[in-house]
Structure 1
Amino acid sequence: MNAAIERRLAELSPYSTRGLEWVRLEGGDAFDYPIDYWVAVMGTDIDTHRADFLVRWEPERYCHFHRHVGRTTVAVLAGEHHVVEEHPHETVHKTRQPGHVADNPPGDLHMEYGGAEGSLLFFSMQSDDGTLFEFLDREGGLLRLVTVEDLATANI
């Protein structure tokens, strides 16, 4: 991560992220929404199918449309964070502030994006088989599975 990003993280959050290895994920022409976020793995346990990691969203930018396959505990550490949940008969937009903590069961299908200053969240996930996320296209078609092993090897 470059020095400018480190400074922005320091401004956004009182938590030190120095020493973490950040991987940037961006979208491309195949997506109709702006994708730009960073992931820093804090720890993984392949045997128990568990991963702990930070995600930093750029201002007004999304992560990939996805479904959480494992149980997820999430905490908003800094910035305003938006979650747009997709349900069979409705779409629900939720705005989360720093200090918000949630424990979500598997199957959570949604889009997420950072507010005007971006956002920083902590995630702790555990699944039955090591699969954490399904990255999906807008119609719900599978683009990619993301596993604990992917996070452990920085193959995000």
Structure 2
Amino acid sequence: MAEVESFTLDHTKVKAPYVRLIAEEHGKKGDVIANYDLRFLQPNEKEMPTGTIHTLEHLLADLMRDRLDGIIDISPFGCRTGFHLITWGVPSATEVAKALTEVLTIVVNDIQFKDIQGVSEKECGNYRDHSLFGAKEYAKLVIEQGISDNAFERNVVK
């Protein structure tokens, strides 16, 4: 079986919220993709409700692309404590943390339900399971704690 980096991470040692580069992969033609851990909550202590993480997924997919070049995908962890961010190229964890902080601030202060893309039955595979209220509450929590660019030591990015 292949070794999956996320399953080798000692989840008892990390200090959320943080941004962590999980891996970078180099293609045969010189292309580079990176996989990041955007951890909102301390593993095994809290998890986001599905409606909350679903709404945040839609908002991050939209708003992060306006602030960070080369985004391929943003998708939630099954454990519901954060997200994978896949990019072309390798922006620094600091750059990603700054973009994420800006986006979460917009979610808290500016977003209304009408602003969320892809939440109709036609556009979403589970359109009934969204919570903007929850998304705002968890975004506030992350902003209040600050996002670190180091998973193991708190180094909050300003």
Same fold? TM cut 0.5: no
Q: When the two structures are superposed, what TM-score results if normalisation uses the length of structure 1?
A: 0.30
Higher relative contact order (CA 8 A, sep 6+): 2
Q: Which structure features the higher share of helix residues?
A: 2
